[in-house]
């Protein structure tokens, strides 16, 4: 994919947000910033993001709530939790709520990028599986045949062309 | 539901001053003295009084016994003398009137019977001493017819008489024994006189202890026989025995004290024998036995007193030691609870520090990226300046937090100064909860009274209390809620209510909420010491703390503190204590 990964970062610490966004942009991410949960949800609705980086402690909507809402509205959006509150319980809970990963602050940028890439892979895989499923659906509807039948027909088509 | 803390064991950091211990010692001493010495003294006095009574009774009994004894002997003596005379006059061989020679032999016989006989005389019925033998021959032929004794003898039914002492014709004190008979139809009398000095000699040879005087008085109280130390014969005795009872003891008061005496009326004649002690007895408690008693008691009382003083002093010093140990323990406990409180806030504090660290990390990364030729960003030194500023700011944030932590945790002497309580609360909120207020779903509402509320407190300790209450409130809320801190000033007291919309407490929890180590949090969370330490702190600052709660709705902790007389000082709190937190 030559497209840039579209990333949504949500954190109420503005300085941190700006710095991180700058660094990620240098490394080829397309970054959108949000400073609270409401902003984040609105941004997610108006644009398609591949990944989201989410802080837990924010004013207004709590990070966990934002996580749940994002996952509900955008099934394929992978969310990575990034927080100064390190706790095992919290990590487990967020994973159960659908987070892809959980990173404590401060972190090594390389680690963060690795996790982002892994998340993106996951997203691609899911998307591919989705696309594949869609394809199968279309074929079924078109031919009313099983996948094996379709394959035979395609080979026959190929042979015909040859 | 509400609960006021009932009797609990809580640390009481106030050390009593020296005056308190002195007062304690004095009170203790007084108590012990009253308990032990007072009964001793009372008993001693009681025994002294009893003893005096016993002495009195025994003296009287002693003298009475002597008196009766001597009286018996005297009666016997006098009777014998009467018998002596009677024998003579009853002798049938006696020729009447007796011749001078016979008289001499009669006298000889009498004097053989007793040395006290002086002379003997024979009287006819008219009272004339017709015959006489003795040292006063001039008395012969004298007419005794109108002498009182003669007349008394004639009147008497008994045939003998013993007269009182009188001078008589011989002008010397003497007394007579006379017997009368009617012989051959004639009334005759035989009389002998007794020498009182001899008589006294006889008496003094009677067995009696050397500490008594014996004297004999007649019915009028005139001395008949008396030792020269006491007085003269025929002078009035100071002791006048009553007719009844027949024998008794009494006390004669003199200038120097009192003299015990006992008397008995003789049977043979109308005399009373008086026995009296030779020395005065002091009225009151002067005698040697009393001195011994009081001396002994005094020694014992003194010994007990010394022991009591030593004991009281020891007890007070033990109390002082115990107080010191307790103060040390409570100090340690206070410190431990501080650490525990800090521990409880650890996750919050970590977050407070992690965020600035993340900022630093990112800014440093930015600079590194800028310097990395691979990225080819073409940034100038000027472009990097903001990052450096951000890093500096973040460092300060961290420093403030750690400094606040350290100052809180540092052991400090209790340092009482005047602060406005609103300032203290704000310092706590800004210092520890700055970020919390911003990010969490717990809303903190300040409803401060519009007046200044100065209190005299140790700022560190009061901060700890508020930290504890706010921490508890946050924990009770567990998610979304509100903490309201309201202050008011009323009747010389400042009141602070810390209310939360948390889970509240049941009555059982309320009853025990201030008990050390009691906690409503799950195992591993919290020490259960926070509220009990807070209770102790508020109490030692002269205030009160109580709580009301409704399960499922929320709780309110109420602190009362005495209003300071003077307004909050402008003194800086001790170095290292928090200024307002930054960030």
Say whether A23 and B365 touch across the interface (CB within 8 A): yes
Q: Looking at the partner chain, which of B347, B352, B365 has a beta carbon nearest the beta carbon of A87? A: B347
SS3 B294: helix
Q: Does B362 touch chain A (CB under 8 A)?
A: yes
Rounded Cα distance, B465 and B318, in Å = 32
Q: Which pLDDT score, from 0 to 100, does residue B583 have?
A: 33
Q: Looking at the partner chain, which of A19, A26, A104 has a beta carbon nearest the beta carbon of B363? A: A19
Mean pLDDT, chain A, rounded, equals 83
Rounded Cα distance, B579 and B52, in Å = 84
Helix (H) or strand (E) segment spanning residue B448: none
Question: Domains, chain B, ranges and CATH?
Answer: 345-409 (1.10.287), 414-583 (3.30.565.10)
Q: Which residues contact B542 (CB under 8 A, 6 or more apart)?
A: B561, B562
Q: Which pLDDT score, from 0 to 100, does residue B573 have?
A: 42
> In which residue are the tokens 């979304």 written?
B480
Burial class (CB in 10 A: 0-12, 13-18, 19+), B73: middle
Of B236, B437, B441, B468, the closest CA to residue B339 belongs to: B468
β-strands A51-54, A5-10 pairing: parallel
Say whether B354 and A87 touch across the interface (CB within 8 A): no
Rounded Cα distance, B449 and B411, in Å = 32
Residue B521 C-alpha, separation from nearest chain A C-alpha, in angstroms:
16
The residues spanned by each domain of chain A are 5-123
Cα separations in angstroms, A64 against A54, A97, B162:
9, 8, 140
pLDDT digits (tens, 9 = 90+) for A67-94: 999 888 888 889 999 887 767 778 888 8
Rounded Cα distance, B327 and B319, in Å = 12
Say whether B439 and A107 touch across the interface (CB within 8 A): no
Superfamily of domain A5-123: Response regulator (3.40.50.2300)
Per-residue pLDDT of chain B (583 residues; tens, 9 = 90+): 444 443 333 444 455 677 778 888 888 888 888 888 888 889 888 988 888 888 888 888 988 988 888 888 888 988 999 998 888 888 888 877 788 888 888 899 889 988 889 889 888 888 888 888 888 888 888 888 888 888 888 887 668 888 888 887 778 888 889 988 888 788 888 889 988 888 877 777 766 667 788 888 888 888 888 887 888 888 888 888 888 888 888 888 877 778 888 999 998 888 999 988 887 766 566 667 778 878 888 898 889 889 888 888 888 888 888 888 887 887 787 777 777 767 766 666 777 788 889 899 999 988 888 888 887 777 788 888 888 888 998 898 888 778 777 766 666 667 788 888 999 998 888 877 766 666 677 888 899 988 888 888 888 889 888 988 988 888 888 778 899 999 998 888 999 999 999 888 888 888 878 876 677 776 556 666 678 778 888 888 888 999 999 988 899 999 999 988 766 654 444 443 343 333 3
Per-residue pLDDT of chain A (162 residues; tens, 9 = 90+): 457 889 999 998 888 899 999 899 988 899 999 998 899 999 998 988 999 999 887 777 778 888 999 888 888 889 999 887 767 778 888 888 888 988 888 888 888 999 999 999 888 888 788 778 777 777 776 766 677 776 777 777 666 654
Say whether B347 and A85 touch across the interface (CB within 8 A): yes
Rounded Cα distance, B219 and B98, in Å = 35
Q: Does B360 touch chain A (CB under 8 A)?
A: yes
Residue A27 C-alpha, separation from nearest chain B C-alpha, in angstroms:
8
Q: Does B351 touch chain A (CB under 8 A)?
A: yes
Of A97, A115, A105, A106, the closest CA to residue A51 belongs to: A115
Q: Does A16 touch chain B (CB under 8 A)?
A: yes
The residues with which B340 forms a beta bridge, in sequence order, are: none
Spell out the long-range contacts of A87-96 with Cβ–Cβ below 8 A and sequence spacing 24 or more: A87/B347, A90/A56, A93/A64, A94/A56, A94/A64, A94/A67
Q: Does B358 touch chain A (CB under 8 A)?
A: yes
The residues with which B456 forms a beta bridge, in sequence order, are: B418
* Cα distance between the two ends of chain A: 32
Burial class (CB in 10 A: 0-12, 13-18, 19+), A52: buried
β-strands A51-54, A101-104 pairing: unpaired
Q: Which pLDDT score, from 0 to 100, does residue B484 have?
A: 93
Rounded Cα distance, B145 and B131, in Å = 15
Beta carbons of B198 and B173 less than 8 angstroms apart: no
Residue B347's closest chain A neighbor by CA? A85
Rounded Cα distance, A17 and A40, in Å = 13
Three-state SS string over B422-436 comes to: HHHHHHHHHHHHHHH
Tokens of B41: 């003294």
Residue B438 C-alpha, separation from nearest chain A C-alpha, in angstroms:
6
Tokens of B452: 């200044």
Q: Which residues contact B275 (CB under 8 A, 6 or more apart)?
A: B63, B66, B67, B70, B208, B212, B213, B214, B261, B262, B263
Assembly ipTM: 0.75
Tokens of B123: 């009287």
Cα separations in angstroms, B381 against A18, B344, B367, B378:
19, 44, 10, 10
Beta carbons of A101 and A81 less than 8 angstroms apart: yes
Q: Looking at the partner chain, which of A16, A22, A62 has a beta carbon nearest the beta carbon of B355? A: A16
Residue A92 C-alpha, separation from nearest chain B C-alpha, in angstroms:
17
Say whether B359 and A22 touch across the interface (CB within 8 A): no
DSSP letter (8 states) at residue B134: S
Which residues from B are below 8 Å from A109, CB to CB?
361-362, 365
Say whether B351 and A85 touch across the interface (CB within 8 A): yes
Q: Best residue in B345, B355, B393 to probe A by mutation, most A CBs within 10 Å?
A: B355
Beta carbons of B562 and B493 less than 8 angstroms apart: yes
Q: Does B583 touch chain A (CB under 8 A)?
A: no
SS3 B500: strand
DSSP letter (8 states) at residue B571: P
Say whether A106 and B394 touch across the interface (CB within 8 A): no
Residue A1 CB-half CA count within 13 A = 14
Q: Is B479 left (phi over 0), alpha (psi -120 to 50) or beta?
A: left
β-strands B2-3, B117-123 pairing: unpaired
Helix (H) or strand (E) segment spanning residue B484: strand B481-490
Residue B375's closest chain A neighbor by CA? A26
pLDDT digits (tens, 9 = 90+) for A107-122: 888 889 999 999 998 8
Residue B391's closest chain A neighbor by CA? A15
Tokens of B58: 């025994």
Say whether B439 and A12 touch across the interface (CB within 8 A): yes
Q: Which pLDDT score, from 0 to 100, does residue B582 have?
A: 36
Which residues from A are below 8 Å from B394, CB to CB?
15
Give Cα B64 distance to the centre of its chain.
44
Tokens of B321: 């030691």
> In which residue are the tokens 């009591």 written?
B308
């Amino acid at each position: 994919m030559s497209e840039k990964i579209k990333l949504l970062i949500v954190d109420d610490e503005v300085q941190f947000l700006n710095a991180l966004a700058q660094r990620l942009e240098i490394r080829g991410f397309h970054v959108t910033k949000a400073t609270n949960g409401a902003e984040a949800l609105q941004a997610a609705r108006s644009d398609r993001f591949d990944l989201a980086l989410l802080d837990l402690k924010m004013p207004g909507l709590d990070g966990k709530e934002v996580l749940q809402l994002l996952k509900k509205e955008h099934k394929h959006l992978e969310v990575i939790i990034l927080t100064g509150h390190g706790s095992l319980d919290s990590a487990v809970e967020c994973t159960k709520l659908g987070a892809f990963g959980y990173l404590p602050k401060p972190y090594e940028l390389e680690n963060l990028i690795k996790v982002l890439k892994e998340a993106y892979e996951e997203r691609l895989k899911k998307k591919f599986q989705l696309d594949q499923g869609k394809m199968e659906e279309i074929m079924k509807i078109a031919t009313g045949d099983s996948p094996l039948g379709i394959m035979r027909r395609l080979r026959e088509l190929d042979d015909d062309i040859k | 539901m509400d609960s006021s803390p009932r009797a609990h064991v809580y640390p009481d950091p106030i050390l009593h001053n020296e005056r308190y211990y002195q007062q304690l010692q004095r009170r203790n001493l007084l108590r012990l003295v009253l308990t032990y010495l007072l009964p001793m003294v009372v008993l001693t006095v009681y025994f002294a009084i009893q003893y005096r009574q016993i002495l009195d009774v025994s003296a009287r009994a002693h003298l009475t016994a002597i008196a009766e004894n001597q009286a018996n002997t005297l009666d016997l003596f006098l009777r014998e003398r009467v018998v002596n005379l009677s024998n003579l006059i009853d002798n049938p061989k006696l020729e009447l009137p007796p011749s001078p020679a016979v008289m001499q032999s009669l006298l000889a016989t009498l004097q053989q019977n007793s040395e006290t006989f002086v002379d003997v005389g024979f009287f006819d019925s008219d009272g004339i001493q017709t015959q006489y033998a003795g040292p006063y021959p001039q008395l012969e032929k004298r007419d005794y017819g109108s002498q009182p004794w003669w007349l008394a003898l004639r009147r008497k039914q008994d045939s003998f008489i013993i007269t009182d002492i009188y001078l008589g014709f011989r002008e010397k004190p003497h007394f007579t024994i006379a017997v009368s008979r009617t012989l051959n139809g004639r009334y005759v009398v035989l009389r002998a006189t007794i020498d009182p000095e001899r008589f006294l000699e006889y008496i003094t040879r009677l067995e009696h202890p050397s500490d008594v005087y014996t004297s004999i008085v007649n019915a009028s109280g005139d001395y008949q026989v008396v030792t020269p130390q006491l007085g003269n014969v025929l002078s009035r005795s100071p002791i006048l025995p009553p007719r009844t009872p027949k024998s008794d003891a009494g006390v004669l008061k003199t200038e120097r004290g009192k003299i015990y005496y006992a008397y008995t009326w003789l049977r043979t004649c109308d005399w009373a024998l008086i026995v009296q002690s030779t020395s005065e007895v002091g009225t009151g408690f002067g005698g040697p036995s009393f001195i011994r008693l009081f001396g002994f008691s005094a020694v014992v009382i003194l010994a007990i007193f010394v022991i009591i003083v030593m004991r009281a002093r020891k007890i007070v010093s033990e109390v002082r030691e115990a107080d010191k140990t307790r103060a040390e323990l409570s100090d340690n406990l206070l410190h431990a609870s501080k650490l525990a409180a800090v521990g409880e806030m650890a996750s919050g504090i970590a977050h407070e520090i992690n965020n600035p660290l993340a900022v630093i990390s990112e800014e440093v990364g930015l600079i590194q990226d800028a310097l990395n030729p691979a990225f080819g960003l073409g940034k100038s030194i000027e472009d990097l300046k903001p990052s450096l500023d951000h890093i500096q700011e973040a460092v300060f944030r961290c420093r403030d937090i750690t400094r606040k932590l350290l100052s809180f945790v540092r052991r400090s002497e209790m340092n009482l100064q005047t602060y406005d309580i609103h300032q203290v609360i704000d310092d706590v909120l800004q210092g520890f909860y700055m970020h919390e207020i911003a990010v969490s779903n717990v809303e903190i509402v300040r409803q401060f009274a519009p007046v200044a509320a100065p209190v005299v407190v140790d700022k560190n300790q009061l901060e700890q209390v508020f930290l504890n209450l706010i921490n508890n409130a946050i924990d009770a809320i567990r998610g979304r809620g509100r903490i309201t801190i309201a202050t008011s000033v009323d009747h010389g007291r400042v009141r602070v209510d810390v209310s939360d919309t948390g889970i509240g407490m049941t009555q059982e929890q309320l009853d025990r909420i201030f008990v050390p180590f009691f906690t409503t949090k799950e195992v591993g969370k919290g020490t259960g010491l926070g509220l009990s330490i807070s209770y102790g702190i508020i109490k030692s600052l002269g205030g009160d703390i109580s709580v009301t709660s409704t399960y499922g709705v929320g709780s309110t902790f109420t602190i009362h503190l005495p209003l300071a007389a003077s307004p909050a000082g402008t003194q800086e709190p001790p170095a290292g204590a928090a200024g307002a937190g930054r960030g």
